[in-house]
Structure formats: C-alpha cells, structure tokens
Structure 1
C-alpha cells in the first residue's frame, strides 16, 4: 500500500501525514533525550549513568525516525511543548518533580498504536517508565517525611481556617471578631500540627530503632557453650528456617572459637522515608501557618462582609488546586484529578461549617 513501510523498514513514498508524524516523533525523541541529559548533568554516580543510558536509548529511537524520513528529515523540530517545558525544568531545577513528570510522559507513549514504530521501541518506552519510576522513588523516599508534613500542614491550614472564618462570619459577628478567630486558629493549629508531627515522627523512629539488633550482643559470643546455645533461635527470630538457623549458628560459633571476628548484623538504619522529628515539625508548622494565612488575608486587608467571604473562598480554592496538582505530579498520577479532589474536599468541609454558622447565628438572633 502506498505510504506504508516495507519489511526492511524503509518507505518508498511516505505520505504527508506520515512525514509530519515521523518528524513529530523525531523532535519528541530529541527533546526527551535532552531532558535525560540535563538531569544527568545535575547528578553523579549510578543515577547519572542510568540517565545517560536512557538518553542513549532515546537516541536510538531518534535514528529510527531519521532512517524512515531519509531526505524528508529536514531541520530538527522543537518537540511537543510539554516536553520542551520538561527540558527547561530539568535544566533549571532537576529533582524528583521533573522525574515524576518524565514518568508520566513515558507512560503516555503512542508507540503501541503507531504502525511505524517497532515493537522494541514500544517496549523500550514501557521500560523507560519503570526506570524513571524507580529513580523518582529514590527522590520521593528522601523527601517523603518532610513533604508529607508540608502537604498535610498546608491543606489543613487552608481548609480548617477557611472553615473557621466562614463559620464564625456566618453567625453575623463583626469583621474584627472574624479576624481574631482566624489568627487564633492559625497559631493554635500551627503549634498543634508542629507538636503532633514531632511526636509522631520521633515515636516512629524510636519504634524502628527498638527493632535494630543490639551490636554489643556480639561481644558475648565467645562465652557461648559450643554444644548448647540459643544463637540459632536468634536467627530463626530474624526469619531463617530451623535448619538454616542451626547451620548459620554453628558457622558463627566456629568463627568465634577460631578467633575470627564475626561481622555485625547488616541492618538498614536509614529512616529517610520518615524524616527527622524537627524537620517534620518545622515543615508542618510553617506550611500550616502559610495555608491558614490565606483565608484571613481579605480581613487583614480590610475587606468585610460577603466580599471578604467570596475572596477568601476563591483564594483558598486556587491554593487547594495547586497543592492537589503538586501531589498528583509527584505521585505520578493525574494532576487535574488530584487537584479537583483536593478542591471538593476543602470546599465541602468549609460549606458544612458555613451552614452551621448560619444556623447558629439565626438561633442566637
């Protein structure tokens, strides 16, 4: 058929639509390769090598489209706007945010449905998505403790203080009272969130630390009875089956009796995914306070009545959309869906409180 590729992968007379599509794919592959090279430039060691490997793979895909286009390749295009924007982010910032966006981009590959892309290329894109997912997971692990506290703090501040000022305002009290209530809610909530996060993170770290083997127990190994000891029970408690535990215990005892040093248990002591207590507390306090400030800004600026209420609701709505979108991007999910979910939950809570304020205000009157 005219315009279709032959078994060797060459096309005698590509159609205009094919040339446009191939050139678009070529430009996108060039842009995606640039994203990975920019990210690699900001890293070192293994992560740098992995990203450069992805860039090389994109270069192979780029060559496939060049071969199909032949003389029709022309001047290189710029790639899709979102890919170029991703390249700018990678060049300017790098970090897990860009990796999360790249993960989403790889998952949207059109090669599965493109007859001119090889099965290997479609498979590559799937694998690339998993590679980027794994790299992004490293970054998420490093920031998840503080990030969780930041997101929860900001959203709690936005929603709780909006609900507070709307509920108080709906009772019919003066603007000064609404402002005082909002400031009190900001301080009380921020202090409560900070203290709660510190206690939560410290408690979790202490629980995990309590499970780490005591390294000083190794010092008592030489005193154990060769024929009757409970060392095998230690290894069984750590997950070995009975036979494996007995064999390992016998080997350890033999090492000890021969005067050899037994290495300490290889235990992962990094709690990156939890974060530190102080960082989580400070992050939670600051982000709750910044979120809780938004709903009271109209009253701080001297606005009153319905205008202040509508302005506060609008500002909080925009902030909720932004925080929801950021969470969506970093989790590799739909940014729009997460943003709308955040907005509906926040507005729902505020609406209930506002209605209750109207009811109690009418009752008082």
Structure 2
C-alpha cells in the first residue's frame, strides 16, 4: 500500500436527496455510468450492459444470500436491545452487534421478539457470541428483519425482502446485499448467456463492517474488517479459460472483487479456495484477476471507493462521481450502477 494515501483524497459532496431510498420499479431500469478504459464517461441505461460486453467475457457474481439478521427484544432488566447478526459460526451460535443502553454481560439472556431467549456467551472484540435455542437460520427466517443499510430510512418491508436480494442468491450468510447484482433479472441473465457471455460464481458473506467508516487519516493505519469467502475450482477454471481466450474477467460488485483477488494468490491450491479475507485494496494495488467491474456508487471516504479508485485511478473516479452528482444519479445500495473498465485491461 502507498503509505502516503490519506482519507481526505476519497471524499466528495453528496446531496442527501440523491441517496436512493427504494429501488427502481424494475431491476434493470437503473441508469449506468460507463467509465471506459480511456477514462471517458458515457451516460447509459443498465439495459445497455450487454452492448458493453464481449462474447469471451466472464461475469463473476457473488451468490451470497442476505439473512434476516436484525432482531429486536429486551434484556432481563427490561431494557430494549437490538441485535444485528454479523456471522453465523455454528448451527445454534452466532456473532452479533448488540445495541443497548448498557452492554449485556456474559451469562445473561436476551428475550427476542417476545418469543425466545438467547444466551450471551461472551465477547470477541466488538461482537457478542450468542447461543440460540434452535438453528439460528430458522429463527431468523421466522422472527428476523431484513437488515437494510443505515442510510435507508424506512423499516424493511416485504418489498425489501425481495428487492434487497439478488435473483441468484443461494448461499445464506450475508447481512448486507452485494448490491451491484440487484440490477439483474432472470431475463437479463438469459440474454447474456445467449450472447455467449459466461457466468461464474463466488461466495463472500458481506458483513456489517462494510458500512463502518475509516477512522484513520493515513490509510496504512486502517484495519480492514474480515469477511468469509469461497471460490470453487470451476470458477478458477473459467477464469483461466477466459484469460486464455483473450476475454475479460468482469466482477459484479466489489464483494466479487474481494473474493477473486483474495483467492488469486492461492490458485495452485487445487480445491475450493476459502477463508477469511481482510484484503484492503487501495490505489497502487495491482489487480490479478479482475479486468472490469460493475458496481454501485459508494459512500464518501469508504474502503469501497478506494477499491474502485485502485481499478480506474483516483482522478477518473473523482471526475466520475462529480459527474454522477451533477447528473443526479441515484446513490448507494438501491441506486444506479457504474461499469468501470481498467486502463490496463487486456
């Protein structure tokens, strides 16, 4: 990492009204800002994406599934408590953020949804280890709420249960959606497949840490949150075949980027490449597998804004975001998309 990089280099002014509070009426109806390999900008629609791809390209999707990770309840003292599951670590156990007037102590119990109690087993840093009376996933499906990002101001409803989830989500474990994938519907996926554009999958369970701000001015001092990822051997084989054919690896979302770039050094592994990643991608990073990126717009001073700046350059991204604000694109999870081509793509 460049030791001279500072947080202030990744700031921009965003009017509050440009933060999308709900998705487009149809998944593919969003706008698409295209930043090409010459760092030129083009205003498009998401439906134009097939025109920007080539038959030898490979789209890599994150197939994680958002779980209903938010629970509300009370402590034994009667005080209100809110639980946000960060990671399921066993059939009946999970690590969670717990918001309460006073932190619960190990050995105490929390009554969730006026129905069942969870035991506080201890702490791991900022997270609490909780033991559930039944399978965590079953109880979350029944009593939990979809964990919308903090900048979305309404409580999750049935529409959010559907739209804050990709149509190809199969692996439960995320507490935030891989939002670039929200723009795809089954018809778009079928159209791309018919064009000869291959599709592959990785899994990265997005954690709540994705929304945590960077608190250090020098980026070299920032400690990245950990997320669980998995890249199957068939995806590795597709990447190698794509490269051999002169195609591009196009990551759908920054979470796919983190999974792919975390796996790349372990390509000789042979089987499934998996583990926890704390990969922090900043300008100066040399991408190993990713040639282009489909992504949403990211928060000021966020690690994800740094990641896209590493692919396209700080100045082109700064210019793209200024254009997006001026052109009133919709920002963040339910907002519009960008297609970014690396200046060094094959």
Specify the TM-score bucket, using the shorter chain as the normaliser: under 0.3
TM-score (structure 2 length as normaliser): 0.18
Larger Rg: 1
More strand by share: 2
Greater per-residue helix proportion: 1
Higher RCO structure, 1 or 2 (CA under 8 Å, sep 6+): 2
Normalising by structure 1, we get a TM-score of 0.17
